[in-house]
Chains A and B, each alone.
Chain A
């Protein structure tokens, strides 16, 4: 099975402020299944922005990350809000789907666990009768005055159509008790390194002081590190024989490398390939001319040498160190082990950089359904409300997190915030 990867940016969009909110109030939950701990990390990091001392909080955050001391499980900043529970959020989602006249009916009152079977929830409805009656009782003569009389009936239990929660929302999120850089795949490690490199100078300075220069992750690191492991680089004009005028004596290994080492990491494969083509052609021309100049440097006269195996001195046959690639290849395991020992956790990052691997398992969503006040709203990754051109003005979003909203209608704050307390209603007399 392929290792699951995703672009950490998709996890960092901060659609909700904690994992429980994200699970219960949005349908952007695939990442909670695949990368639950990473998601909590991002929520917690966003949260540091709103701490009274973001600098210290961030330093502490990076420290925990480096030392595998971060606690995703029930993390108050990223996993679980202290003032609510997922059951309460479920209750709220069902209640928000009910029209104002319905009150959710559960064994524990309005705020208990909703009784949903299929797409029906139990709710109560209270009916009123407003009648214009005579002020004088049964007397209804020509001079009687009238008044409105409002009577309240007993609540009546009804089944109301709702959209129930999904299995994901029902299941508990599996979170580790401790989590750190070493538990993440290289993409996320790079993501946090990048975050760290672009953090405030004080954060960088103080964290390094705290962890030391030789800590595992937050060190000076670039793709130039570990250049030795790139063995193909050793086959260059210095290590391939000049007598090979057609540049094909050793197959593909005959062609001297032009784009070397770390430069290759960032080169397009097609550019890299054509550099070999060019290398082969130019070296053919170069060598065909140069081979005529093979000479015995030890004499004063011109003494054309025949092409021969490199038994002569380097100055005679112009072949340099043919043995070098062989030696390097022989030691590659040692080299890699050394680099790995040195880089520790960052070795995987180096591998990732040098292998140019980037494939997605978690796709990016076309729309995210999110709870906005008491409504379900559809938005994109930038948290903009979606306008869908092939839907009509009457098409509404699914109502899982509250009443559905129209896709193609702009809402004002007052539309979403309107509630009985906000609306002005003339008092009935």
Chain B
């Protein structure tokens, strides 16, 4: 049983939902199953009612593998830690239940248990309590630890005092705390066909003490976390990585430092051409996923149909009715009709984008980050010093970006899109480049310092959309959303840029003091629907290898 499930059972036993076991709460015109509990191992537990929530903010960001956020709740007169019973002096009976106040521990062992999912039953009076939805797309279930608290004063006095709690995933907290005694030498690789070796570590060479970086990541997680958080919870598609590393956790490293260190050095397996991978802890299923970015693109579509990672289908609202006579433009997405409850779903009143912020790639990012890199490598074994120039040239990186990622997108140029960022002659001819020293002599592992950073940068720094939408629990990072117009429009370069599939990089779930539930969604779309023929000759081209004589 997962830790969260254990805590859920415990909370149920405590009967904190005594008057609302179905946990149904109303947000605008919709009903959700929503509950939030604060509890700790001393046996103190309270339910934070929806009405007491001033603000609940949960952030799901592709750059963080875990969820985090904060909650501000009404706490007049510090009642949370002072209450004795519902009404002081009332006798305890069926209607009045003794309330034990909460007592903060303040050691990251105050837990927040959140359940949040749509309530699909119409909920007529007298109807039996509906089954929970419990769906991996729509249900949010989290166990957070409170890592900081704060009293928020109000202008209107202590009766409006609030308690603010900052939280993040308890597994992240564990990794931040644990010192692990891990070494690949103590846990030698035994993949494939092998015999159980008893060769002492002293008799192994460094190659035998190394193992694939993907396996090290699993080892670190398994070493630092409770078995219930890891047992059978790793993805079948886990990418073991293309290079081996002989790694021993330094004594001053926490497990999170180890994890970050290995993630910095992890490249995908050779069949994915040593590209960067994204590490993610899936919500609800609580499975650990390490996927090459290509896999995210592959899962965005399935031929002309949505792929498994295509989640919501959004429509841009339109003020005017365009001319219906003209030939409709090419469809930039799969359309609204191809949908299942899990893929490419669309809710007419919710999956609507009224207004959005569209950010082009920053010019300085493009010129100063996405440029050629000259990588220096040194092999201490044979004293060989190497410089990689070709593979890390921005033109080659761009081709690789197109080949690895954009060729899997939905587009109109040979069945796929076209990379949306630009290279130019200054960068490809090495008049504008960066120099990096690699931590390893291995050319594949050295991808981490140059090409993979470019690929990741080109993927995430590119055209970005950000918009607010009415809240919906299925929204999460690491999946694709489609953005399209329902009505006719005049096709142009702007539509080719904006319409299509976005990779969701960040979603925030916010409940405000007014009881409103909303999302802020951010996604990137590193491709155009079609080739837009930009000039790649640099306007500011200058051969800096020559200084003019005066």
Residues 338 to 377 of chain A near chain B (Cβ within 8 Å): none
Extra contacts besides A99-B199, A101-B195, A145-B236 (11): CB < 8 Å: A100-B198, A100-B199, A129-B193, A144-B235, A144-B236, A146-B235, A146-B236, A146-B237, A418-B202, A419-B198, A426-B219
The CA of A101 and the CA of B196, in the complex, are separated in Å by: 6
The CA of A318 and the CA of B219, in the complex, are separated in Å by: 108
B309 CB, min distance to chain A CBs, angstroms: 7
Instruction: Kindly state whether residue B308 has any CB partner on chain A within 8 Å.
Output: yes
Interface centre among B198, B222, B223, B236 (most CB of A within 10 A): B236
Which of B125-133, B184-192, B384-392 interfaces with chain A? B184-192
B196 A126 Cβ-Cβ under 8 A: yes
A135 B223 Cβ-Cβ under 8 A: no
B232 A147 Cβ-Cβ under 8 A: yes
A128 B236 Cβ-Cβ under 8 A: no
B198 A127 Cβ-Cβ under 8 A: no
A130 B190 Cβ-Cβ under 8 A: yes
B232 CB, min distance to chain A CBs, angstroms: 5
User: Knowing A99-B199, A144-B236, A146-B236 touch, does A128 contact B308 (C-beta < 8 A)?
Assistant: no
B227: A residues at CB distance < 8 A: 429
B238 A127 Cβ-Cβ under 8 A: no
A428: B residues at CB distance < 8 A: 190
Instruction: Kindly state whether residue B201 has any CB partner on chain A within 8 Å.
Output: yes
User: Knowing A127-B193, A134-B236, A145-B287 touch, does A426 contact B199 (C-beta < 8 A)?
Assistant: no
User: Knowing A100-B196, A418-B200 touch, does A146 contact B190 (C-beta < 8 A)?
Assistant: no
The CA of A130 and the CA of B187, in the complex, are separated in Å by: 14
CB-CB nearest in chain A for B298: A142
Residues 196 to 252 of chain A near chain B (Cβ within 8 Å): none
Instruction: Kindly state whether residue A140 has any CB partner on chain B within 8 Å.
Output: yes
Tally of A interface residues using CB under 8 Å: 34
Instruction: Kindly state whether residue A9 has any CB partner on chain B within 8 Å.
Output: no
A142 B309 Cβ-Cβ under 8 A: yes
B200 A426 Cβ-Cβ under 8 A: no
B193 A99 Cβ-Cβ under 8 A: no
Residues 155 to 202 of chain B near chain A (Cβ within 8 Å): 186-187, 190-202
User: Knowing A128-B193, A429-B227 touch, does A143 contact B136 (C-beta < 8 A)?
Assistant: yes
Instruction: Kindly state whether residue B22 has any CB partner on chain A within 8 Å.
Output: no
B235 A145 Cβ-Cβ under 8 A: yes
The CA of A411 and the CA of B202, in the complex, are separated in Å by: 9
B191 A130 Cβ-Cβ under 8 A: yes
5 contacts between A and B (CB under 8 A): A101-B195, A130-B190, A142-B299, A424-B186, A426-B222
Instruction: Kindly state whether residue B285 has any CB partner on chain A within 8 Å.
Output: yes
Interface residues as binary, B199-239 with A (CB distance below 8 Å gives 1, 0 otherwise):
11110000000000000000100110001001111111110
Instruction: Kindly state whether residue A89 has any CB partner on chain B within 8 Å.
Output: no
CB-CB nearest in chain B for A134: B236
The CA of A411 and the CA of B194, in the complex, are separated in Å by: 28
Residues 125 to 165 of chain A near chain B (Cβ within 8 Å): 125-136, 140-147
The CA of A146 and the CA of B234, in the complex, are separated in Å by: 6
Interface residues as binary, B509-546 with A (CB distance below 8 Å gives 1, 0 otherwise):
00000000000000000000000000000000000000
A424: B residues at CB distance < 8 A: 186
Instruction: Kindly state whether residue A300 has any CB partner on chain B within 8 Å.
Output: no
Q: Which one of A134, A146, A415, A423 contacts B186 once the chains associate, using CB atoms below 8 Å?
A: A423
B200 A423 Cβ-Cβ under 8 A: yes
Which residues of B line the A interface, CB within 8 A? 136, 186-187, 190-202, 219, 222-223, 227, 230-238, 240, 285, 287, 299, 308-309
B374 CB, min distance to chain A CBs, angstroms: 37
The CA of A130 and the CA of B200, in the complex, are separated in Å by: 21
How many inter-chain residue pairs (CB < 8 Å) link A and B?
91
B187 A425 Cβ-Cβ under 8 A: yes
A143 B285 Cβ-Cβ under 8 A: yes
User: Knowing A146-B234, A146-B236, A429-B222 touch, does A423 contact B196 (C-beta < 8 A)?
Assistant: no
A101 B198 Cβ-Cβ under 8 A: yes
A195 CB, min distance to chain B CBs, angstroms: 42
CB-CB nearest in chain A for B185: A423
The CA of A424 and the CA of B219, in the complex, are separated in Å by: 14
CB-CB nearest in chain A for B190: A130
Q: Which one of B186, B195, B233 contacts A426 once the chains associate, using CB atoms below 8 Å?
A: B186
CB-CB nearest in chain A for B198: A100
Instruction: Kindly state whether residue A420 has any CB partner on chain B within 8 Å.
Output: yes
Which residues of A line the B interface, CB within 8 A? 99-101, 125-136, 140-147, 411, 415, 418-420, 423-426, 428-429
B190: A residues at CB distance < 8 A: 128, 130, 428
Q: Which one of B199, B234, B309 contacts A145 once the chains associate, using CB atoms below 8 Å?
A: B234
B232 A425 Cβ-Cβ under 8 A: no
B137 CB, min distance to chain A CBs, angstroms: 10
B199: A residues at CB distance < 8 A: 99-100
The CA of A419 and the CA of B234, in the complex, are separated in Å by: 31
CB-CB nearest in chain A for B186: A424
A146 B195 Cβ-Cβ under 8 A: no
B231: A residues at CB distance < 8 A: 429
The CA of A100 and the CA of B235, in the complex, are separated in Å by: 33
The CA of A129 and the CA of B192, in the complex, are separated in Å by: 5
B219 A415 Cβ-Cβ under 8 A: no
The CA of A4 and the CA of B183, in the complex, are separated in Å by: 58
A423 B219 Cβ-Cβ under 8 A: no
B241 CB, min distance to chain A CBs, angstroms: 13
A132 B186 Cβ-Cβ under 8 A: no
B240: A residues at CB distance < 8 A: 132
The CA of A426 and the CA of B222, in the complex, are separated in Å by: 9
The CA of A355 and the CA of B187, in the complex, are separated in Å by: 68
The CA of A101 and the CA of B202, in the complex, are separated in Å by: 17
A222 CB, min distance to chain B CBs, angstroms: 56
CB-CB nearest in chain B for A125: B195
B192 A99 Cβ-Cβ under 8 A: no
B193 CB, min distance to chain A CBs, angstroms: 5
A158 CB, min distance to chain B CBs, angstroms: 11
The CA of A136 and the CA of B194, in the complex, are separated in Å by: 25
A415 B200 Cβ-Cβ under 8 A: yes
The 5 closest A-B pairs by CB, nearest first: A100-B198, A101-B195, A146-B236, A418-B200, A144-B236
B492 CB, min distance to chain A CBs, angstroms: 35
Interface centre among A125, A130, A146 (most CB of B within 10 A): A146
Interface centre among B186, B190, B222 (most CB of A within 10 A): B190
A101: B residues at CB distance < 8 A: 195-198
The CA of A46 and the CA of B196, in the complex, are separated in Å by: 42
The CA of A125 and the CA of B193, in the complex, are separated in Å by: 12
CB-CB nearest in chain B for A100: B198
The CA of A420 and the CA of B234, in the complex, are separated in Å by: 28
CB-CB nearest in chain A for B240: A132
The CA of A333 and the CA of B430, in the complex, are separated in Å by: 111
The CA of A15 and the CA of B201, in the complex, are separated in Å by: 29
CB-CB nearest in chain A for B202: A415
A128 B186 Cβ-Cβ under 8 A: no
The CA of A144 and the CA of B238, in the complex, are separated in Å by: 10
The CA of A425 and the CA of B211, in the complex, are separated in Å by: 14
B194 A127 Cβ-Cβ under 8 A: yes
Q: Which one of A129, A140, A429 contacts B236 once the chains associate, using CB atoms below 8 Å?
A: A140
A130 B194 Cβ-Cβ under 8 A: yes
The CA of A142 and the CA of B230, in the complex, are separated in Å by: 18
The CA of A325 and the CA of B454, in the complex, are separated in Å by: 113
The CA of A418 and the CA of B223, in the complex, are separated in Å by: 22
CB-CB nearest in chain B for A411: B202
The CA of A101 and the CA of B287, in the complex, are separated in Å by: 35
B286 CB, min distance to chain A CBs, angstroms: 10
CB-CB nearest in chain B for A102: B195
